[in-house]
Amino acid sequence: MQTGVGTYKNKRRWHISTLPNLIFTLLICFACWYIGYEYWIGFPVRSDSGASLLWYAVCGFLTDKDYTYIAGFTLLFLAAALLQRFNFRFVIFQGKTMLPFLLFFLLNSVNPDFFPVRPVSVAIFPFMFAMFGLFGAYQNPVTTGRMFNMMFNLCVGSLIWPYLLWFIPVFWIGMYQFRILNIRMFSASLLGLFTGFWFVLGWCVWKHDFAVFINIVQCLSDIHIVFAGKSWLTEWIKPLCYFFFMLVLLFHILSQESESSIRTRHFLSFLFTLGLYAFALSLFYAFTFVDFECVCYLSASLIASYSFSGKSGIVSFLLYCLIITVLIVFLFIRLWNIL
């Protein structure tokens, strides 16, 4: 009996979800934001060449440093909380753990290019609402309202970050993976997309100004390869590490495929497709690369949480510590180049 108790305590000692580890991860996140605040990283907020007209207008209000950093931190915190709620709602993995929240919060907090606020900081919310609609319609090919809302949310998000429109095909792929792709559901998704832009068109006609549509086309066509003219250490290594990390997670999950339900495998398959699709898109838009990274981190956080959930032992704990160490190293490399 004592041996069993001792074994349980030893497992809990090396479990990633223990309270000390969670507090330590949160402290790292707060420290990163404090460093960004002290050194004015990313402030004043500037509009990139591929920014939408709505984001230009938003930047006009972000003139106060304190307000801007509080707004950016709050948006990231709420996005991480919504991701945590997403896992509770669809039970991608069992167990009460805050890993999706922590990993998403951590991955973005150690990225100084994300500070203090980016277009995706706002656009990530309609994007996640679209994911709620897609996952909620799993193997239910009559819930046309969810498909309508899914595309309508993507349309709304594209007004602040036009590149969300590139994710429409991956949501159609998700409909196919979830066995809900038929003429009725596909038509509902198109109707949701057209309805959103119909309201925008009405506004443009009323204002006699079609600059919104022109700006969206210009953003999507403004392609700049990320790796062109960049140094290996500062620009190449992080995307390649992300790609390698996703491959490791894929191999780990495939090796334990028999332990997962069909529903979970379908969910994970879509998340892998989303992460790799966002990574591929990011390579073509250098000016908004960090925004695509946020979408990559969204899928990576859920997949990594699935891999770590229920796992205890020194190997899993050391792997988690290695991930945090690598992220901190990347942070100092970026700070060295920025400062």
C-beta of residue 69 within 8 angstroms of C-beta of residue 77: no
3-state DSSP call for residue 14? coil
The angle that helices 19-38 and 65-90 make with each other, rounded to 10 degrees, is: 150
pLDDT at 194 over 90: yes
CA distance 296 to 277: 9
Annotate 69-87 with DSSP letters as a single string.
Answer: HHHHHHHHHHHHHHHHHHH
C-beta of residue 285 within 8 angstroms of C-beta of residue 239: no
In single-letter form, the type of residue at position 157 comes to G
Longest dimension (CA), the chain: 79
Is residue 250 classed exposed, middle or buried when 0-12, 13-18 and 19+ CB atoms within 10 A define those classes?
Answer: middle
For the chain, give the number of residues. 339
pLDDT at 155 over 90: yes
DSSP state of 143: -
**Chain segment 163-190, per-residue pLDDT in tens:** 999 999 999 999 999 989 999 999 999 9
**Chain segment 128-139, per-residue pLDDT in tens:** 999 999 999 988
C-beta of residue 256 within 8 angstroms of C-beta of residue 249: no
**Chain segment 282-337, per-residue pLDDT in tens:** 888 878 888 998 998 998 888 888 877 765 556 666 777 777 777 777 777 777 76
- Look at the alpha carbons of 323, 329, 332, 333 in this order and tell me if their dihedral is positive or negative: negative
CA distance 40 to 302: 31
Domain boundaries defined on the chain? 16-338
pLDDT at 2: 45
The share of the chain scoring above pLDDT 70, in percent, equals 79
Of 171, 305, 263, 281, residue with least CA distance to 220: 281
List beta partners, residue 224: 285
pLDDT at 112: 84
Least confident of 33-42, 194-203, 234-243: 234-243
What is the distance, to the nearest Å, from the Cα of residue 312 to the centroid of all Cα atoms in its chain?
A: 26
Average pLDDT in the chain: 82
**Chain segment 87-118, per-residue pLDDT in tens:** 988 888 776 678 889 889 988 988 888 889 99
pLDDT at 8 over 50: no
